[in-house]
Each structure stands twice: as structure tokens, then as C-alpha cells.
Structure 1
């Protein structure tokens, strides 16, 4: 009797749990519609008798639903993701880099096999369970447009828990789709391409447009002067282009280099200036300059610039000066800086004068070389796009966070002693040492002096019998790999939806077999934004990766199908409710466990965008 009572109790409990899950799912679908009378909502009659067969079915259904919940993909922000949200004080905010979103999209599409991970700013759990990736790019909207009209984005805020500020590539109308599809290579993925194709050039040789191959800098670079692909001309005694050693914008941010982006960085680097008003594209022939600074302690309890040394790649000193700190010196730090009170007595040169002189001295494509060069540039309050950091390109520990001292690197690789003078360091000596280390690595290979990369090189040798690093693509530190190529390789169906105003060269966004003309991507071109949204809704369930693009400047029309000028902030505010509806319409058709990403793509050279991410549960 008691056994039967316990069984009946289990039956009722199981039925109640299943019913509760169903009610919760209905509530989510209807967004907990408060207009629906409570009496009309599904309720379980606990007096009903449940047969043994019904109990088995309920147990099976409960197990399936629990399994589905446990295996559902999940997205959450990490520290740097939280720092990028629009809720963060603008002076403390750290916007996401464009690569951050690209890495998320690649992971959502390829799951655990993705060569790129968005681990810096978010966690994407069980990415293999994502049903499809839907991206809606709205060009013409900025982060300012969202914050200024936040109260009108009612549906959008109901969908997305977070809105994150996003640093966009240098604005070029209707090129954002190509930018999204081309992801900068990580070192590990370079190695896999090298293993597969023999060299990066072999893997990427069909990509002829440098604008799609190399990552856009945060700095003003005159890319028009480099419109044609250049043949690699290596310098004497160099086995690969020096551009492969450059830090990427994301690396620069992680390593603490001053960079010109808004938010916390804008406040942190207030008073800084760029070394040039405009730069030339960096090449394998761009000159290298060793840079090192020495500091003194001032009354503000800070180290301030006291000496600057610049050496050309022939180890000739081309700039050497002492600098008078803005504040009174309280400690000359002589054992380290080599600076004495007597040396500084008659020094009058200011930091501002040094900045101007260095700016006039350096060519527009100069590569600065140094050990933890971020410290020197911060001391000089200068920003520069092209840097090689010997503390990054050499690594003896296998841990990127543990950096070897320049003195140790010089002794280990050059068999030279530096920094042994009891009167302190010589900034010229340190500059020359950094250049020598860089030249040594260029004479070997990309793996030389890096324990972690050497280990990977050994693995590749064991697998393939040889390793090929030959005839690399120019600026290959910033070579990109197309999302669509990865999708096609894994038999993922991709589609682009846009208006006719969006011209995309799909062949440039692919890694195809030589001679192949099939890029494997559908591109639907519609006559209006409404039709783009409609087409996206119709086809998204049939594709693994959907990239839809609209431009409110080019594509917005009124009820009479007449083009509307949306260049003013007032007009943008007026059409925000329609944009809000478009976002909701696409979201309503996203499949369960699908990931939806909305990107506000900016409108000019100085604007940041917004990124929003949500998984459909």
C-alpha cells in the first residue's frame, strides 16, 4: 500500500515538473504576457490518475527536457565584456575590439573546432549546440545613437541583456560585411594553415585586396597609397618579413600600449599625441628604429621622462636627449637610469619639444623596436601603430605573462653583457640590444627564441616531416582568414542578405582552391530594408550563418518608396522605433539555441558602434 502511495506521489511530482517546464517555456515565448488572465494559463489537475504508461512517458519527457536545458549553449560576459557595456561610466569603459566580435562569430559557427576564441571578453559554453548564427548589421548607427535614443529601443532592450560599445574598422561605406567576414589570424591558426598549405602565401594567394587581407589600424593610415599588392622583398639576412613581428591592435591593448580609442583609454591617454598625423602602410622594407627611455622619480611619486635614445637599424644613434620633467625630481634613480643631478642641472628641453622632434624625425612607416616598449611610449606620451616588442617576440618560460629581462635575453642569444655599468643603464645600449635581438630572430624563423612556438613547431614536424615558412604575404602578422571559407569547408550553409547598394566581392572573402570559381555563398539583394528583413526571416532557418546588412543612409525609404535623408540626429531619432521593430522581427524567427548578433556599424571615421549578443532559449 505504502509502495503504491510513493509511486503515485512520484507520478504527480513528475507530472508537475513537466507542466512547470512547459509553463515556463510558454511564458518565455509570450514574454510573460501579463494581459493573459491567470485562470487561462495551463494548470495541472493533481486529482487525475496517471497510468504506469503515462508515467513512463512523463519520465522520458522530463529527462529529455532536463538534458536539453543542461546542454543548451550559454553566453555570458567576462571582466572585459562588462567593462565594454554602455552601462559602464564612459570614462571607465573599455570598448570591444572588432576582432572580439569576429572571434565570437567564428566560435559560434565552428564550435570547439574554431581556431579563434572570444575568451578575452566572454564565455560561450557548449558552442557546438548552437543551431545557427544570425548577424544583423545596421550601418549608419553609432553608440551615441543608442544612448541618445535608449528609451525608444524597447524591444531591443527586451531581447538583449547587454549593449556593448565596439571599436569599428576605419569607416568605409558598405565595406563592413567584408570586414566581418575576414578574421585576423591568430598565431596558432597561421601554423595550421602553414601545415596544410606549406606557407601562408599558398593559403591566401587568391586574396588580392590588401584592404581585406590586413587588419585596419586604429591609426590614420593612407591605405590608398598601397592599393596594389606588393611583391615581398626581404631585407638582406632576413628569412621572413619583419611585419610578422608587429603587435596587432588587440595585442597592443592587452600589453598596455597607448592607443587612440574612446572610453577609459581616451581618459587614460589624455594629453598624448600620435607620432604622425597620418601614416603610410607598413611593409617588409619599412625601417626599424630602436627606442629606449630612462626615467627619474618626481615629487608626484611618479616616474617621469628624463632621457630618450633612438638608434637606426645600423646601430647608429640618430637621436639622444635629456628631458626636464614637468615636476621636481626627488630621486634620479641613478643605479637604473644612469641619470645624475649634475647631468640634469642645465637641461631645459620639455616633453612637448621631444614629442615634436621625434615626430619630425620618424618616417611615416617607421617600426619602433624595444623591450616592453609600452613603458617608453607612455613615458613620452606618444602613440605609434607599428611596434615590435622584444619581450613578446622572445619568450623563455612558455608563459606569456612571464617576460624575460633584456639583460638575460642579450646574454642568452647574443652572448653579450649589457647593463653592467655601476653608474646605471645606457638607453643607447638597450636600444641597440633590442635591434640586434630582432635582427637575429629575422635571420632565423618566427619560432626562434619562443619556447611555446618552438614546441608547436616540433609537433608540426612530427606530423608532416617538415615545416614550410616561405614567401610570406606582406604584413602577414595581420593576414585575415574568411569566415565563409571555414563554413564552406565544414559544409555549413552561409548566406548574405542586403540591398542592391551593398557591393561585396565574395571571391575576395574566400579561400578557394586554385582555379575554383565557386565561392559557395548565396547573396540575396533586395530593393528595400523591409525586404531585407523579410528575406532574412524567410531563410534563416535554412542556413547556418546568416549575415544581413542594411544602411539607413542609403536604403531608408518612406511609405511612398521615396528615399529619406537620415543624416541628421533628429531624423535618426524619428526612425528608431522602426529599427527597433526590424530587430524584433528577425529575433522572432531565430531558432531555439540560435545566436543573434546585432551590430551598429557607425557612420564616420570617428564613431564607435554597438554590439549586442543573445542566444534564443
Structure 2
């Protein structure tokens, strides 16, 4: 039952009891004294105050899309980086890392962040998922959040298992392979479906945010995109209208040769209340006599773009929203360039053009922006990146690359790239002032070895799962450890009763106000993803002694 519902029920109880006191016809055993009523009122006030201080994880629309339904599927799994954002936020606090798929309320009261990673699960079908849930009564018992699907596959296997794997991956540090990894292509710059959703691009599936009213697809049928697919850069200008939002008033499109292939002023259907001239460059005189409508522009662009066109722009989600168009192939310069190294932050087009093209744009001051100039700058930025590497102009990716080079050791792993993304979490936490400990089975230690140079972080290897769990619980008993993690391996995949007992012991050791995460790899099609259970351990509420 949610906190709001509990409080509402308690308040209703208080009102009912107050009413009972004033009702002389009530039986004597159901009435309370004025003194008892005051005590009850004070208790409810204190209870409400306590509940407000409890940390809790609350999923937003993005987080709910990753929740697994009864059929064992989610609408859109969380990426490893998205999950890491929550853990880093719990350790660092507000500022550097903020999860965009959930909120961690009262983060300041979180005393410890704990992760239990259990490798090599076997949950591929809805039947497997149903059986799995039946073996783990711990999660509903302690009110864990609904399970989330994470893009984290099983990372480990033994050398013998590797010899049996046809898709063996052996780490190679050669310069040739490094250069190959850095090759930048149109396909590598395209936004994934998860990125389109995360950056609020108009999508026909996102019913909660976008209405289908007036939206159209740029094509009835799309062709597969390739390196030969043409790119078109778009920039739109908008004005504020009487419906309380910005509407399209100008659109410019340039091709890869920077030729203007489409340019039009647009008359919005609603009355303009603010021309936003300092940004849009639009004035009343410019729109005088303009009869082109949004529908006219949609028709023109649908005829202009081929079925495999790649659209380029700066924060293009705003332009497509104004155009009321759906398009699947997007390169967004605000995402592929990153100046400060903080994931999710976006630099202005003006600064990107100056930094990487030595171009001065948007210099008209109060006269506003020029959409042709801005669309050309976006196209040039993408072309500049294609001439260099995937990490060019992206401080965040450069940091990840350096980390990957740091942890590249001659160990045999499968799904290595996914593990690298997860290990970024540990590296980032060691850069904080937090104290912590990591406990892993012996066969895993080689990949973790050498990650920490600080004294406050300790990594320990153990010969068995039991030893790993015991050491983890001992570390969690020391609340000076702000981060604790264990990496275990389930050998007998049918022995889920044992794993439930592991989780019970793990939960019992977590301190009050500790953020708890349990991850099971080997979930979904081809076992490419993981299940994640989240909760914050909360103390029981005080009880009221009733004398009536």
C-alpha cells in the first residue's frame, strides 16, 4: 500500500474517531476520551513526518517502460548506464549524476548502497519467469519495486566454457583493433530507440506524451539505412501562440553539400502572442501575407525525403515536434557532442560551432537566429565527426574509452563491452570520498584487479559463494561503508531455493535506509538481459497503544 494511501486511511480514521466522540448515541466501548483523541492526532502527525523522511525509489514514465509484465517482457529495457545513474546518485547526491528514469526521494538519508549481482540465470520464457517469481517470496514480502529489465547479459564464463563457446571473445590490445573500434560512421551516430525515447522524440508508441492528432510519418514505408543514405539537416523556428505553446513559423532544410533544398515561412493556425524574435528571428512583417500551413510543409517534406533519409539537427526532437512528424533515422548534434564530460548534458549549437568549426553563428543579437545558418552548422558538425572518430568531440565517451583501456586485461570474457559499461560504476565511485568494499568469487577477480588505487576501497576474492555472501554481510554491518557489492555465480540453475535464502540473508544485513539492488543475469531472449529488484530498507513505523 502506498504512503499516500496509508496516510489517507489514518486521517480518515482520525476524523471518524473525532466524529464518534461527539456522537452521544454511540455505544460506550466505541468512544474515546478527549485525551485519547489528542494522543491519536499527535501520533498521526508524527507518523506523517516520519514517512516523509523515508528514502524511496519512484519510477517515472521511462522507468515504468522497463518494468517486466506478467508475460515476462518489458516495453523498453534500461541501459546499464541508466541503472548506474541511480547508484551513483545514491552515493554522490545531487549534482553530478541524476537518474532520468526514476527519482530517489530523500537521497540525503540513504546510508548505504548495496548491490548483489548473481550471474548465469536461466529465464527465457514467460513460464520461466513465472516459475522464477514463485521461488522468490522475499521480493513481494518486503515490498520491492516491480522487477526491471536491464541490458546487462551474463558476463562471465570459465576457460572450459569458453572453449565450448562458438562465439569466443578473446581480448586483443593491438593498435589495429583499437583503430577499428574508433571508426565513426553514419550508422554509429544514429540514435537508438531507447535514446529517442529518453530524449523525448515524438514516437507513435509514446501515447502519454504525444497525441496522434496531426502527426504524420515522413514515409509510408522505410528502407534500411546504410552508409550511403542521404543526410538532411533541419532547423525550425517557432513562435508562442494563444494555445499556450510554441508553433512552427519557419523551416529550413539543407543537404550534405549545404545547399538549401527547402525553405518556408509558415502561418500557425493559432494567433501569435509572442514572436520570440530574439530567438526565432520572426517578426509580424515577415509573416504578413504568408499562407503556407503546417500541413503544406508536411506534404512538401514527405515528398522531399527518400525512404532511407537520415535527419540531422541540434535537439531535433523540438523541430520534429513542431513539424508533427515521426522519423526513425536521427543524428542529434546535441547528443553526439559533449563538452563537459557529464552524461546527459547538452551544449549549445553556438558553442559547438565555435569549438569544432571555428564558426561564429547566432550573432544577430535581438534579430534572432537564422535557421539556414543553424542547419548548415549542424550538417558540418556531423561531417566533421565522420572524418574523425566516434569519441571526437565527446568528453564523456573519451572518459569511458580511457577507463576501458585501464581495465583491459588479458582475461577471457563474453559480452565484454556490456561488462565495461557496468564497471564504469565502480570506477566512478572510487573517485568519490565514499568508503566501500567489493566481494567476488575467485574466478572473477582478474577483471576487477587493479581498478582501485585508493585506500578506502577494498576488493576481496573468495573461494565460494557462501564466503562472498558472508563477507558482504559483514561489510554492510559497518555503515562507514557507503557502497558494498558482491558478484556471485549460480552453478546449479535449478537451485533457486538456495538463492532465495541468499537474498534473505543479504536483506537482513542491509542497514535501515540502505538502497538495495539484486540483479539476476540471463534473462530474456538469448539471455541477453538481466532482472533487477530495487528497494530501500525502512524501519517499522511506531505503533499507537490504544486503550479504547
TM-score (norm 1): 0.46
Gap regions ≥5 residues in structure 1: 1-74, 88-94, 109-116, 147-151, 168-178, 184-191, 204-237, 465-478, 493-540, 547-584, 602-609
* 1:136 pairs with 2:95: no
Aligned to 2:502: 593
CA distance in 2, matches of 1:382, 1:447: 30
Counterpart Cα distance in 2 of 1:102 and 1:398 = 14
Aligned partners of 1:77, 1:327: CA distance in 2, in Å? 41
Judging changes above 3 Å, is the alpha-carbon distance between structure 1 residues 613 and 401 closer, same or farther for their aligned structure 2 residues? Answer: closer
The separation in 2 between residues aligned to 1:384 and 1:490, in whole angstroms, is: 49
Contact 1:138 1:598 (C-alpha < 8 Å) held by counterparts? no
SS at match of 1:593: helix
| 2:270 corresponds to which of 327, 334, 346 | 327
Q: Which range moved further: 371-380 or 327-336?
A: 327-336
Which residue among 437, 460, 463 is the counterpart of 2:381? 437
Contact residue 182 and residue 480 of structure 1 kept, 8 A: no
Distance in 1 of aligned mates of 2:492 and 2:297: 51
1:49-68 equivalences under 5 Å are none
What residue ranges of structure 2 are gaps of 5+ in the alignment?
Answer: 1-54, 68-73, 88-96, 105-111, 156-169, 409-414, 423-440, 445-487, 504-518, 538-548
Equivalences for 1:334-373 in 2 at 5 Å? Answer: 334-373=277-316
Superposition pairs of residues 47-196 of structure 1, within 5 angstroms: 77-80=57-60, 84=64, 97-100=76-79, 121=101, 125-127=113-115, 129-132=116-119, 134-139=121-126, 158=140, 161-163=144-146
Q: How many angstroms apart in 1 are the aligned matches of 2:498 and 2:188? A: 43
Over residues 557-605 of structure 1, what are the superposed CA-to-partner deviations in whole Å (9 max), with x where a residue is unaligned? xxxxxxxxxxxxxxxxxxxxxxxxxxxx98656443365689798xxxx
CA deviation string 1:307-345 (max 9, x = no partner): 111111111111112222121112222232222222223
Take 2:243 and 2:286, find their aligned partners in 1: how far apart are those partners?
Answer: 21
Whether the aligned pair in 2 keeps the contact of 1:182 and 1:481 (CA below 8 Å) is no
Q: Does 1:446 align with 2:390?
A: yes
Q: Could you say if the C-alpha distance between residues 131 and 396 of structure 1 is closer, same or farther in structure 2, counting changes exceeding 3 Å?
A: closer
Structure 1 position 83, deviation (Å)? 5.1
- Residues 193/391 of structure 1: CA separation in 2 closer, same or farther (3 Å cut): farther
How far off its partner does 1:261 sit? 2.6
Q: Tell me, yes or no, if the aligned pair for 2:120 and 2:522 is still in contact at 8 Å.
A: no
Alignment CA distance shift 1:448-1:96 (3 Å): same
Is contact 1:85–1:164 with CA below 8 Å preserved after alignment? no
How has the CA–CA distance of structure 1 residues 318 and 193 changed in structure 2, closer, same or farther, with 3 Å as cutoff? farther
What's the counterpart of residue 177 of structure 2?
Answer: 199
Q: Does the 8 A contact of 1:291 with 1:370 survive in 2?
A: yes
Give the 3 Å change call, closer, same or farther, for CA 359–77 of structure 1 in structure 2. Answer: farther
Q: How does 1:565-604 map to 2 (within 5 A)?
A: 588=497, 590-593=499-502
CA contact (8 A) 1:351 1:380 kept: yes
**2:186 equivalent in structure 1:** 242
Between the aligned partners of 1:82 and 1:376, the Cα distance in structure 2 is: 22
Deviations 1:89-133 (A, max 9, x none): xxxxxx76224489879x99xxxxxxxx99665799543x44555
1:275 to 213, 218, 228: 218
Within the alignment, does 1:426 sit opposite 2:396 as a pair? no
The count of corresponding residues between Structure 1 and Structure 2 is 355
Equivalent position SS for 1:134: coil
SS at 1:289 equivalent: strand
Give, in whole Å, the separation in 2 of the partners of 1:412 and 1:201: 24
Where does 1:204-223 land on structure 2 (aligned, <5 Å)?
A: none
Compared CA separation, residues 131 and 387, structure 1 to 2 (3 A): closer
Residue 480 of structure 1 deviates from its aligned partner by 9.7
Tell me the secondary structure at the aligned position of residue 385 of structure 1. coil
Q: With structure 2 as the length reference, what TM-score do the two structures score?
A: 0.51
Give, in whole Å, the separation in 2 of the partners of 1:275 and 1:480.
Answer: 37
Alpha-carbon distance in structure 1 between the residues aligned to 2:302 and 2:178: 34
Contact 2:266/2:293, CA 8 A, preserved across alignment:
yes
* Matching of residues 278-317 of structure 1 within 5 Å: 278-317=221-260
SS, match of residue 322 in structure 2: helix
* Residue 325 (structure 2) pairs with residue 382 (structure 1): yes
